[in-house]
Chains A and B, each alone.
Chain A
Amino acid sequence: MLSVKGLKANVGDKEILKGVDLEIGSGEVHAIMGPNGSGKSTFAHVLSGREGYEVTAGAVRFEGRDLLELEPEERAHLGLFLAFQYPVELPGVNNTYFLKAALNAIRKARGEPELDAVSFLRLMKEKLKVLHLDDSLLKRPVNFGFSGGEKKRNEIFQMALLEPKLAILDETDSGLDIDALRIVADGVNALRSPERSVILVTHYQRLLDYVQPDYVHVLAHGRIIRSGGKDLALELEEKGYGWIAGEEAAA
């Protein structure tokens, strides 16, 4: 589904990603862990097409297409979704209106008929119920005046509605209390299917108690320095990132 080879990227003159290799198959959940400043968020942003990053080397293929050539909206049309670490507030833009515009833009790009108002509302209600969310969220401007937890839940709600093929969660767990964390985890677990894949970018192991990853990768200094199964996360939790960084230095 996603194939990343030798990806290097700069912010300004500074090289942040120094050759990332990653293969993700259908239905897999990958966790990318790493200390602060390791390049985790940069990696997520480069995949989603955010401006301000310069890819200097490497290739990314997604669903058979050269991902790096596509506009952000085209990536979304192909089934890529980024849950933002800091969701953006859009004053004056109604959440329901926004969600309907997003869903129909994606449906249209896929050659599916756009949903009318009634079918859309029905779909929203259904997804809200699955995620145990309050529908008052929908009447407000997008993320505007939302608490940190509400913003993150709104991201997961969008993910549930848009049903991406590959969801990238950029530190969605940061700053969440245990109840909000459960909702996020439920959202991800509900999305899991043989056709869908997830990348969980996270600093802590905590989220992985609720969402069991198939693979765990450690990103440090712009490279994936170790990959393994879910046990790697537990080991990291126990020994800290210094443990791997130390091993790397020794090797």
Chain B
Amino acid sequence: MSDSGFNLWLGAPGPQGDTRLDWLETKREAARARVLDGGIPTSKQEAWRYTSVKRLLEQGFVPADEPITALQPEDIEDVLIPGLEAHRVVLVNGRYLPGLSALGELPPGVRIGGLQQILKSDPDALRDRVNGVAGEEQPLFAALNTAGLDDGLVILLGRGAALTRPVELIHLSVGMDEPRVAQPRHIVAIEDGAQATLIERYLSLGQSLYCTNSVLEVSLGRDAVLRHQRVQDESPNAFHITGLYLSLGQGSRYRGVNVGLGAAWARTDIQVRFAGEHAECDLQGLYLAGDQQLMDYHLDVDHRLPHCTSRENFKGILYGKGRAVFDGRVYVAKDAQKTDAAMSNRNLLLSEGAEVDAKPQLEINADDVKCSHGTTVGQIEPEMLFYLRSRGITAAVARRMLCLGFAGEILDCLEPQPLRERVAEQVGHRLEHSPLT
């Protein structure tokens, strides 16, 4: 047995919790073997060229296997967004807590709940869903997540089902004596013609050190629609890893907004696969990276079928010694004619110590396509700053206004309004309490 460096994360082999399902154990064992064979990611690997896992390894995280039962609804009151009406699912350190959740009444054809809860009532419900989109050939952190697969959020919408209210996932982390890693696995399957909105929020109680390694698998059937908004606002000392795997059926539409604010070290991998023609994928992203913070994004959009559309628009604000990586790849297969793809990454660099590595790539093998990509790294325009100051606004406030203006394009994509306001407030708060130089 070799050491991937992350063997501690694996815990003891064998079933998690109190359910034992053969198909699940097979998947977990395979992932475990993959982790053990894989070794530690190094800068020689393209996916890890700019980012080292050294800091992550040094923490000695162990699995978050102790259930947190002491939390009461009043403990999470501050976390809730007033006016946001949603089917609420609360996970604490990766585990579903029904007592804090508020699923409300669900329309016919809709199942929402904790992964273990769903498996208990219907052991085969997720047999084809787990790794259904992510596949078995997973990169290290997804494999670790699979090997430790225990709990998470499950949303299943049958044909034509429609949720009018969003599903809000609140993932709360609570610090423990020993630094823990929680590895929730979320499954979202929207069948033909069904529609849903998912809000994912990653938060912490306190400023503790922990790690979240989440995987979300999304499959959209024919003409299905998913609006997905993800806000990562972990503790400033936390590590956050996420893999988002999307499979888009014919004529389906995915609209995602990805906001990264918290954590000391955050890594996001997004993989988009078109499973039918005329599907659309729209990904908007915003990240803030201040002192000692790393925001690392890897997008892999694979147009293997014709007539699909993809948009990736990520904006970053970096200050202090903040670092960001944007590694985006759009691949267009030979037969994927009429592909319409545009990838953009724009960064506002507010200090000399901040750094961004941006690497958008297009790989086009078809001849009748519309594809573009663009990257900018810029500073605040002195002209804009002067204009605001000439109106009596102090330099510090003016800089903040311009940063918020830059972020506004992405924040405006958030819905509904209470969520948009809360996130704008969080961004404003962060900017207000950071030296934007």
Contacts and interface: CB of A to CB of B under 8 A. Distances in A.
B104 interface: no
Contacts of A84: 387, 390
A98 B408 contact: no
A105 interface: yes
A17 to B, nearest CB: 19
A105 B401 contact: no
A222 B407 CA distance: 43
B164 interface: no
Interface in B367-420: 381-384, 386-395, 397, 401-402, 404-409
A92 B406 contact: yes
A75 B394 CA distance: 11
A26 to B, nearest CB: 21
21 contacts: A49-B389, A50-B386, A50-B390, A51-B382, A73-B394, A75-B390, A76-B391, A77-B392, A84-B390, A88-B381, A88-B384, A88-B387, A92-B404, A92-B406, A93-B408, A97-B401, A101-B401, A102-B391, A106-B392, A109-B392, A141-B405
A162 B390 CA distance: 11
Interface residues of A, number: 29
Given A51-B382, A101-B401, A105-B397, A92 B409 contact: yes
A87 B383 CA distance: 10
Nearest to B412: A92
A27 interface: no
B397 A71 contact: no
B395 A93 contact: no
Nearest to A50: B386
Interface in A158-198: 158, 162
A50 B387 CA distance: 9
A158 B387 contact: no
B390 A48 contact: yes
Contacts of B389: 49, 71-73, 76
Contacts of A75: 390
Contact of A101 (B383, B387, B397, B407): B397
A64 B259 CA distance: 50
Contacts of A98: 388, 391, 401
Interface string A75-100: 11100011010011011110001100
A71 B401 CA distance: 18
A72 B401 contact: no
Nearest to A87: B387
Contacts of B384: 88, 90
Contact of A90 (B387, B394, B397, B407): B387
A92 B402 CA distance: 8
B392 A73 contact: yes
A105 B405 contact: no
A106 B391 CA distance: 8
Given A50-B386, A92-B407, A98-B388, A105 B402 contact: no
Interface in A81-139: 81-82, 84, 87-88, 90-93, 97-98, 101-102, 105-106, 109
Interface string B197-235: 000000000000000000000000000000000000000
Nearest to B391: A102
B310 to A, nearest CB: 24
Q: Which of A49, A82, A87, A102 has the most CB of B within 10 A?
A: A102
Contacts of A82: 390
A73 B395 contact: yes
